[in-house]
Amino acid sequence: GENVEQHPSTLSVQEGDSAVIKCTYSDSASNYFPWYKQELGKRPQLIIDIRSNVGEKKDQRIAVTLNKTAKHFSLHITETQPEDSAVYFCAAVGSGGYQKVTFGTGTKLQVIP
Amino acid sequence: DSGVTQTPKHLITATGQRVTLRCSPRSGDLSVYWYQQSLDQGLQFLIQYYNGEERAKGNILERFSAQQFPDLHSELNLSSLELGDSALYFCASSLRQGAYEQYFGPGTRLTVT
């Protein structure tokens, strides 16, 4: 089955710096890659997603890149702010009739003011 | 508020017991997903339903079962509960299955004593 590895598990950055979180997946049939932000005690919320026919997507300070050949995708947050502090999860969703969702293990991001 | 509702919010029960968690998807969403999140752990995909039919299965134990009813609400049944089943259980819904944004409910926190 699909396996998603996420790195790093924790990340501390100074306010205003950039943060990068990387994920690799194993199933080449996966075609949808969302990123979720989860604040302590709250529900995960989608922050950005990318489909397999796109190499890059940007939304203000957040961007995601996808390399289908290497089977990895990354989340980039620029000009980090304290409110960006949270746990971030990547996920890979299969295609076709059997669409299992596999999440990465999460990255705890701390933005230091 | 994502529009997905889950009841109850908290549940405390003893080992060996059986509980039922309920989820109502956003209006118009046909797909429902169930996830388990243990303390300081990632999101484990359990099972997915689409328009009443089971479509994908993840790491769901045989003691657990789920179903989606004609009105599209879903229930997750957990039986013969063990201490290790204590976790936050999230339900999410999406318009269709696959490459569509999932909206998470607030979760049900289950404590098995």
- CA-CA-CA-CA torsion sign (A102, A100, B19, B72): positive
Residue A43 Cα, gap to closest chain B Cα (Å) = 5
DSSP β-bridge partners for residue A57: A64
Residue B82 has pLDDT above 70, yes or no: yes
Residue B98 Cα, gap to closest chain A Cα (Å) = 6
DSSP β-bridge partners for residue B33: B48, B92
- DSSP annotation of A21 reads E
CA A52, A54, A56 angle in degrees (round to 5)?
120
- CA-CA-CA-CA torsion sign (B79, B68, B110, A48): positive
Range in A16-25, A55-64, B6-15, B93-102 with the lowest mean pLDDT: B93-102
Give the model's pLDDT for residue B23: 98
A38's enclosing H/E stretch is: strand A32-38
Chain A (91-110) residues lying within 8 Å, Cβ to Cβ, of chain B: 91, 93-95, 97-106
Give the model's pLDDT for residue A96: 63
| Nearest residue, CB atoms, A93 vs list B90, B98, B103 | B98
CA–CA separation, A29 and B18 (whole Å): 37
Residue A97 has pLDDT above 60, yes or no: no
B99 — pLDDT class (breaks 50, 70, 90): low
CB-CB contact of B93 with B25 (8 Å) = yes
Q: Does B45 sit within 8 Å of A100, measured CB to CB?
A: yes
CA–CA separation, A69 and A91 (whole Å): 17
A107 — pLDDT class (breaks 50, 70, 90): very high
CA–CA separation, A89 and B12 (whole Å): 28
Residue B71 Cα, gap to closest chain A Cα (Å) = 22
Residue A104: burial class (beta carbons within 10 Å; 0-12, 13-18, 19+): buried
Residue B58 Cα, gap to closest chain A Cα (Å) = 7
Is B25 near chain A, with CB under 8 Å? no
Q: What secondary structure does DSSP assign to B23-79, as a single string?
A: EEPPTT--EEEEEEE-TT--EEEEEEEETTEEEEE-S--TTEEEEE-TTS-EEEEE-
Q: Does B107 sit within 8 Å of A43, measured CB to CB?
A: yes
Q: Is the peptide bond before A82 cis (omega within 30 degrees of 0)?
A: no
Section B83-103 average pLDDT = 88
Section B57-77 average pLDDT = 95
| Nearest residue, CB atoms, B43 vs list A32, A44, A99 | A44
Is B105 near chain A, with CB under 8 Å? yes
Range in A9-13, A72-76, B31-35, B99-103 with the lowest mean pLDDT: B99-103
| Nearest residue, CB atoms, A103 vs list B42, B57, B103 | B42
Section B90-101 average pLDDT = 83
CA–CA separation, B13 and B26 (whole Å): 28
Section B33-42 average pLDDT = 86
Residue of A10, A43, A88, A89 to mutate when probing chain B, most B C-beta within 10 A: A43
CA–CA separation, A86 and A46 (whole Å): 13
Highest mean pLDDT among A35-44, A45-54, A91-100, B6-15: B6-15
Can you tell me which residue has the tokens 């004609």?
B70
CA–CA separation, A84 and A64 (whole Å): 16
Model pLDDT for residues A39-85, shown as the tens digit of each residue:
988 999 999 999 888 899 999 999 999 999 999 999 999 999 999 99
